[in-house]
Amino acid sequence: MTNGRRRPRVGLVAGGLGAYWDQFPDLLPTLQRSAAYVSERIASFDAEIVDAGFISDAQEGAVAAEKLRTAGCDLIVGFLTTYLTATMLLPVAQRSGAPVLLINLQPTESMDHANVDTGQWLAYCGACPLPELANTFQRAGVEFRSVSGYLRDERAWAKIERWVRAAAVRKVLRHGRHGLMGHLYPGMYDVSTDLTMVSAHFGGHIEVLEFDDLRVRVERVSDAEVAAKVAEAESVFELDSSVNRSDLEWGAKVAVGLDRLVADFELDSLAYYHRGLGGEIHERLGAGMILGASLLTARGVPAAGEFELRTSIAMLIFDVLGAGGSFTELQALDFARGHVEMGHDGPAHLSISSKRPLLRGLGVYHGKRGWGVSVEFDVAHGPVTLLGVGQDRHGRYSLIVSEGEVVDGPLMRIGNTTSRVDFGRDPGEWTDEWSASGVAHHWALGIGHRASELRAVASLLGLPMVTV
C-alpha cells in the first residue's frame, strides 16, 4: 500500500453556541482562528482533512453530518471551541460511521483572571460541553474518545497525533489485501486462522494463493532481472562467506517473482508456507523465500513464514506506525542475565537492525525442508514492543502487547534475527504471563515503546488489548 493510500481521512467539525455571537462580537473570529490552527496541525500528521466548517446550531450540525457521512472518513474530530449543545454534534457522530474524537483545546494554559470578561471566558469554555456530549453519546450507544488541553499544548497534540496514526492503521486494515499462500505448517493449531474472522475484525480482503501462483512468475524471471536483484541484495546486505552463489541467485529469482506476485494481486501483506518434497520446485520455492520476503517487508509489505496471517497483519500494524515489525518467536531464556532471547529464521524488517544485516548460507532450515540463504541481524538496542493478535475460544480477537528493552549480550550466529529483551522482571515469570495471554507462538517485534499507540489502535478497531 503506497503512502498515499495510508493517509487517513480525518473529518473535522468545530463549533460553538450561536447565541453567543451577537452578544460577544469578538468571540467567533477568535474561535475560528483556533479552528484553522487545529486543521493545520492535524494535516501536519500526514492526514487528509475534510473540514466541515464551523457550526453554530443543530441545523448546521446536520449539514456537517451529511458532508462527513459522504466523505468516508477514518476518524471524526469534533473541536469544542466553547459551549455547544449535544444536538449539534450527535448527528455527526451517528451518521459518519467513523470513530469519534472530541478535543477541547482552550486558547492558553490559563486565563488572565484579573482582566477576563465574559466573552473572553467563553473561549476557555470548551470543557463545559464535554460531559454533556459524553453522557449523550453513551446514552445513544456512540463510542468516543477525548483529549483536553490548550491550543499549543504539545502533550495534548501528542495524544491527538496518536489517534490520527491509529486511524491510519484502521484505514490500512479496512482496505488491506492480505495474501495467504500455501498451507498451514502441520500441527500448528495456534497459527490456524479463520479467514472470515480476519475480515470481520479488521475489514479488508484475504487473497488465497497457491505456490503455483509464485512458480509461474518465477519461471518468467530473466537472467538480467536476477542479476539486478543480486546487486540489490549485495548493496543491502553483508554477504557471509557461507553464502553459495547459486543459492543467492535462486533467492534473487524468487524475490523478483515475489515482487510480481505482490504487484499483480495488489497485496499489502503476505503469509506463506509450503513443505515440498525431494527437492522439487515447490520445496525450492519455499526455501528460497527469505531474501525476497525480507526485502518486501523492508519496503512496507510485511511477509511472514509458517502461514502466520495474524502475525503478518501485526507486522503491518507496526509498519504503519513506523515501528518496523519483524517476525519473532521465543528462542531461549537467560536466567543468569535476566533476559528473554527471541527472533526467527524467517523474514525480518531490515529497519530495526543494529547494523548492516547479514546474509548467511544455511544447509538446513530448522524444522523445514530445503536450504539456501537466510537473513541474520541483531535488533537495535533500545526500547521495543511486542504485538501479537490473540484469539479466544469464541473467535474474538485481541491485541496482546508487551514493552521491553533490547540489551547487550551474547547472541547466536545461525542465520536468525536475534535480540535479548529485558522486561525488568524474572524471564520465566514474564514468559508464563505472556504465554497465558492468548498470544500465538509468533508475534511482531517493533522498535520503540508503542503501547499507548496500540491502545488507540485497539480502541478504533473495537478490540480489547492485553498488556503483559
Question: What one-character DSSP code corresponds to residue 350?
Answer: G
Q: Could you read off the pLDDT of 169-209 as tens digits, one per residue?
A: 999 999 999 999 999 988 899 889 999 999 999 999 999 99
For residue 419, what are the contacts with CB-CB under 8 A and spacing of at least 6? 328, 341, 342, 343, 378, 379, 384, 406, 411, 445
Question: What one-character DSSP code corresponds to residue 126?
Answer: G
Residue at 359: amino acid letter: L
β-partners of residue 329 are: 343
Angle, helices 245-265/289-298, rounded to nearest 10 degrees: 50
Confidence of residue 344 (pLDDT cuts 50, 70, 90): confident
Buried b (16+ CB within 10 A) or exposed e, 372-398: bbbbbbbbbeeebbbbbbbbeeeeebb
Element of type H or E holding 329? strand 324-334
Whether the pLDDT of residue 2 is over 50: the answer is no
Confidence of residue 39 (pLDDT cuts 50, 70, 90): very high
Confidence of residue 1 (pLDDT cuts 50, 70, 90): very low
- Return the pLDDT at 354: 83
Confidence of residue 251 (pLDDT cuts 50, 70, 90): very high
- Return the pLDDT at 279: 84
Least confident of 45-54, 200-209, 369-378: 369-378
Nearest alpha-carbon partner for 97 in 50, 142, 160 = 142
Percent of the chain with pLDDT over 90: 81
Q: Could you read off the pLDDT of 253-276 as tens digits, one per residue?
A: 999 999 999 999 999 999 999 988
Q: Could you read off the pLDDT of 53-104 as tens digits, one per residue?
A: 999 999 999 999 999 999 999 999 999 999 999 999 999 999 988 999 999 9
Is residue 244 classed exposed, middle or buried when 0-12, 13-18 and 19+ CB atoms within 10 A define those classes? middle
Q: How far apart are alpha carbons 44 and 165 in whole angstroms?
A: 12
Contact 86, 133 (CB under 8 A): yes
For the chain, which residues make up each domain, given as ranges?
3-174, 176-467
Please list the helix, strand and coil fractions of the chain in percent, rounded to the nearest 5, in that order: 40, 25, 30
Q: For the structural domain made of 3-174, what CATH number should be given?
A: 3.40.50.10940
Whether the pLDDT of residue 404 is over 90: the answer is yes
For residue 263, what are the contacts with CB-CB under 8 A and spacing of at least 6? none
Note if the pTM is more than 0.85. yes
Fold of 176-467: L-fucose Isomerase; Chain A, domain 3 (3.20.14)
Residue at 11: amino acid letter: G
Q: How far apart are alpha carbons 276 and 100 in whole angstroms?
A: 49
**C-alpha R_g of the chain:** 25
- Return the pLDDT at 86: 96
- Return the pLDDT at 376: 82
Q: Could you read off the pLDDT of 275-316 as tens digits, one per residue?
A: 888 889 999 999 899 999 999 999 999 999 899 999 999 999
Element of type H or E holding 237? none
Locate 96 and state its grid cell: 459518519
